[in-house]
């Protein structure tokens, strides 16, 4: 079964950190770019970060630039999102999804969406 599974979410205080994982099963991630998206309550889904396949580039939305770091370990078939200096406005369900080779901003062309992991930033 081809799927992505997100994990690592939870409740954290403002200023805290979390590391999300996006693990693939049924296929290998190495030929895919992988994006992280989030969907907050009452907000539209937004793309926040993406990493190209192989040794390609990384991309960040301005809202997370300097605080979040995306990385990949193709040997583990996993992409990570290290989130530091978390803010209440980062509260959302976080999803990962794949696209072919290079990142782009056309969300509907991403596929293999996972079930999401909840991140709540609150004191």
Mean pLDDT of 83-109: 95
DSSP letter (8 states) at residue 107: G
CA 93, CA 65: separation in Å to the nearest integer? 19
Alpha helices for the chain (secondary structure H): none
Read off the pLDDT of residues 44-77 as tens digits, 9 standing for 90 and up: 999 999 999 987 799 999 999 999 999 999 999 9
Mean pLDDT of 75-85: 97
The pLDDT of residue 32: 95
Mean pLDDT of 86-107: 94
pLDDT band at 78 (very low <50, low <70, confident <90, very high): very high
Residue 22, token pair as written in the block: 């996006």
Q: Is 97 a residue whose pLDDT tops 80? A: yes
Read off the pLDDT of residues 11-34 as tens digits, 9 standing for 90 and up: 999 999 999 999 999 999 999 999
CA 37, CA 97: separation in Å to the nearest integer? 8
Largest separation between any pair of C-alpha atoms in the chain: 40
The pLDDT of residue 105: 87
Q: Nearest-CA neighbor of 101 among 47, 37, 54? A: 54
Q: Is 98 a residue whose pLDDT tops 90? A: yes
48-to-2, 75, 81 alpha-carbon distances in Å: 23, 24, 10
CA 33, CA 37: separation in Å to the nearest integer? 13
The pLDDT of residue 2: 85
The pLDDT of residue 1: 83
């Amino acid at each position: 079964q081809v799927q992505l599974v997100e994990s690592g979410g939870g409740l954290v205080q403002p200023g805290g950190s979390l590391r999300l994982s996006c693990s693939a099963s049924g296929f290998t991630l190495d030929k895919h770019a992988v994006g992280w998206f989030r969907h907050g309550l009452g907000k539209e889904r937004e793309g926040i970060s993406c990493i190209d396949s192989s040794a390609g580039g990384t991309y960040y939305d301005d809202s997370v630039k300097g605080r979040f770091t995306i990385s990949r370990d193709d040997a583990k078939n996993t992409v990570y999102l290290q989130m530091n200096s978390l803010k209440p406005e980062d509260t959302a369900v976080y999803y990962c999804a794949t696209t072919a080779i290079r990142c782009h901003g056309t969300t509907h062309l991403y596929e293999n969406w996972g079930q999401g992991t909840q991140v709540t930033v609150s004191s």
